[in-house]
Copies of this chain bind each other. A is one copy, B any other.
Amino acid sequence: MRTIAKPYLLFLGDAGREFGAKTAQGVLHWTPEDCLAQFRLPGCEIDLGLPDMDFPMAQAARARTVLIGVTNRGGVLPDAWVPPLVQALAAGLDIVAGLHQRLSDVPELAQAAAAHGRALHDVRHWPGGPMPLATGRKRTGRRALMVGTDCGVGKKFTALALQRELDARGVAATFRPTGQTGALIAGHGTALDTIPGDFIAGVAEALSPDNDPDHWDVIEGQATVLHPTFAAVTTGLVHGSQPDALILCHAAGRRTMRGLPDWAVPGLAESLQAHLTCARLTNPAARSVAVSVNTKGLPDAEARAAIDRAAAETNLPTTDPVRYGAAVLADALPGS
């Protein structure tokens, strides 16, 4: 299991506004206590509002890992970022990235990491050793999996909000990321989207191992089993997760699937049934327990109406956990 040392120095490079800093902003939003400072090269147009530090300063302030917080379209590391990242390793910091390209495939970084005894973490890649094949063996402990009506409907936010609520209640629970930003927030885990098809369910099994009988793994979802592009990943994740409880995530008002303007978002009840059927292959006791509606940007009355509609469509406890808290979701978990 990969473990990433924290706190982070968020590396923004020389990113212009067009880059966006979704990764860094997601980590900062959910774990501000893990984000010590930002590092920017000349020309950087992004500002997260954190103190600017160079590598020796950050190391002296007890930062442990440089997090590559911006991504360009191709998911590769710009050449201009390599020399400063070599300096970071020399200053005693690890590096973590969620790029398609592996950090360790950049010779200068591999050499510097070896020379200074630092770690290079690629959360989009299996951390080493043979990838596991799923066995279907039932594991101990309890698992709640976020599923959805589409991509980008709030599965990660819902999982994080639920895990915090369980923490606050003193229920033993672990957030299990399955995407790159989630893995950077958690400091462990592997993004599933780049895992070869044969191994997706096996990696998903490894991501939520045997645990205490009352412990909840709160597993970030991916896409939907009704997605014409990405359902393979969802299917492997659902089978490998062996979820006891499914929480359906939905974006209020979304009519067509993201990036697929000819594809209507499937209904909530249809989506739940499809995921439940899939889940019961490896856990016949799987149940749908709640719905999470992303109402971002809606006025309060419309948000509440959207939640009421989703509840009526599914006959399940429903809320927007980011807006109204995750108590409704935590209450819906059997025995928690």
Contact = CB atoms under 8 A, between A and B. Distances in A.
**Copy count, this protein chain:** 2
Contact of A198 (B137, B225, B233): B233
A136 B228 CA distance: 6
Interface residues of A, number: 32
Interface stretch (A187-195, A285-293, A310-318): A187-195
A193 B198 contact: yes
A88 to B, nearest CB: 29
A30 interface: no
A48 interface: no
A228 B228 CA distance: 20
A318 B197 CA distance: 31
Contacts of A197: 192-197, 200, 230, 232-233, 236
Contact of A136 (B200, B202, B262): B262
A231 B196 contact: no
Nearest to A192: B197
Interface string A199-235: 0111000000000000000000000011011111101
Given A192-B197, A197-B195, A231 B226 contact: no
A230 B235 CA distance: 9
Contacts of A196: 193-197
A335 B230 CA distance: 32
